[in-house]
Structure 1
Amino acid sequence: MNLCASGYAGCFARTAYPKILDEVVDRVRTHRVDALTLNEACSGDVAEIAERTGYHYRFATVVHRGAPLDCKTPTGRGVFGNAVLTKEAVRGSRDAAYSVFSGVEERRWLCVTTARRVNVCTSHLSTDGEAAGSANSVQCAELADVLSSYGRRTVFAGDVNRHTSCAPEGMWTLTDETATQAPGIQHVYGNLAAPEVPVEPATYTDHDAVLVRARLRR
């Protein structure tokens, strides 16, 4: 899910804080998800979601104009960034900035490894288009390299702001192309078995929710 929760973006009026947090918690509980990825989230909100669901999490702060961005409206919700939450304990995590980005917002990837050695990654790529040479296209190639380095039992979900896939060879691609809001730019990549991707309308943010069901390969 992309929460558009910084308090600065134009979609904030629809976010209706804190109803967006209730919506996320309800989705987690209803579907009993194994993992949840969040883009455009706030660290305090992620901590609250984790506490209410009992999930473990890692958060990656995104630098804005050279410094962490404090979320507002309301304030006191921590800093802006991306997160991965998992039902299982987290064994380790890594995050790093891409080599390039456009505008004033840094772009980063985040990967978490769970106790069952499943890797769950997320990222939010730049919005300057997917033409060759754009920041988005460079980030896309770097993301593919990151995912390749994790190998088996890896899944990625995030807002890549493009329609063509960044998945490395050997990973399938699913998108939110049936969404009613900004269709086709939220992607899921993986090498798990038998994937399917229902898209569910989201009430309090400007992207619909993407639910992926897949199995670990034996």
Structure 2
Amino acid sequence: MSALALVMTSPGFAGPAHAEPVQVKPLSVRSVAPMGAEAAALTAKARGGQARSALAARPDRPARTQAARSFYELQLNLCNSGKAGCYAGGQSIYEGGDLIYYLAPDLVTLNEICSVDLPNYLQPSLAEAWPNDWTYSVFYPALDKPTGNPITCTNGGTYGNAVLGRVPAALWQGANGWVGEYTTQDSGNEVRTFACAYAVGDHLSCATHLSANSEPIALTQCQALMFSAVPYIRSQEGISGKTVVGGDFNLEYDTSDPENAQNCVPSGNTRKGDGDVQHVIFSNDFTFVSRSLYGLTYTDHDGMLIRLTKP
């Protein structure tokens, strides 16, 4: 793995006059090959997904198999570190995974999960929703500022952010991971980070969780991601457009507030939010269709589904 690269705003990319640098490095992607519908059903049964079975039986489960041009992004903050007041003994991972299976999104941006949650339940949930397609995930932990080590969860994994996605088998060309740390951090002990993945030829996605202690710093971090890191990754991959960034920004949309979430949206992009601190920013080669919120029992944030179409 290469060392972190300190990158500045890309030349010619319209951004803040003093955009912060950000540290970015490549990271391997966890890819899962298509398993087929029969194997997916056996896998679900073996894992004892009672809630999964109940969701599968619902007559209103969205039919995604024919939606060739649709692109659904699901934003989830699952509060699973074990150290916050919203922690519910790991139940949010099952609830979130079942929502992933039920909605069958193309992309999930995840905050406050643990590294073991992805292979144990979240990625299998997406793989079972799309048994004939490839899925991928990239996880990157938040860091403990005094030690520089990853923050640990009570379930034994490391705590952080992830992107989880699917690509139709006929379009799969592999995926490349990119992760990083913000140069500007608040006074707390958590070093805020981000995780990105480029599904080659299909889309670029990123997930992040920004400062909870300072809105000005959260905005600085958001601008570093959107005006520095994302353009840098695009340039390294030789791509433009088809980019979706989601997360808990700890910023609200408020035009009277200098720390308005809209202030980290580059030209050529659109933002949609949950009316609180979760947002999704996507490049304008996607077309916005609708937004839905899903109340969750075991975390303090709604699930937010953004329905898009793409070329």
| TM bucket, shorter chain | 0.7 to 0.9
1:174 to 272, 281, 287: 272
CA distance in 2, matches of 1:26, 1:60: 23
Structure 1 moving runs of 4+ over 4 Å: none
Residues 44-55 of structure 1 mapped to structure 2, 5 A cutoff: 44-48=116-120, 49-54=122-127, 55=135
CA gap 1:197/1:147 in 2 versus in 1, 3 angstroms: farther
Residue 122 of structure 1 aligns with which residue? 207
Shift of 1:53: 3.3
Q: Which amino acid aligns with 2:153?
A: C
Shift of 1:31: 1.1
RMSD between superposed Cα atoms in Å: 1.6
Residue 163 of structure 2 aligns with which residue? 84
Over the matched positions of the two proteins, sequence identity in percent amounts to 31
Cα contact 1:57–1:85 (8 A) shared by 2: yes
Cα contact 1:194–1:214 (8 A) shared by 2: yes
Residue 83 of structure 2 aligns with which residue? 8
In structure 2, list runs of 5 or more residues that go unmatched.
1-75, 128-134, 235-239, 253-260
Residues 66-81 of structure 1 mapped to structure 2, 5 A cutoff: 66-72=148-154, 75-76=155-156, 78-81=157-160
Cα contact 2:82–2:89 (8 A) shared by 1: no
CA distance in 2, matches of 1:52, 1:123: 21
Shift of 1:6: 0.5
CA distance in 2, matches of 1:37, 1:157: 6
Residue 212 of structure 1 aligns with which residue? 306
Q: Which has the higher Rg, Structure 1 or Structure 2?
A: 2
In structure 1, list runs of 5 or more residues that go unmatched.
178-183
Cα contact 1:199–1:209 (8 A) shared by 2: yes
CA distance in 1, matches of 2:220, 2:100: 33
CA distance in 2, matches of 1:115, 1:148: 16
CA distance in 1, matches of 2:209, 2:184: 13
Shift of 1:148: 4.0
Report 1 or 2 for greater relative contact order, CA contacts < 8 Å, sequence distance ≥ 6. Answer: 2
TM-score, normalized by length of structure 1?
0.86
Q: Which amino acid aligns with 2:93?
A: L
* 3-state SS of paired residue (1:212): strand
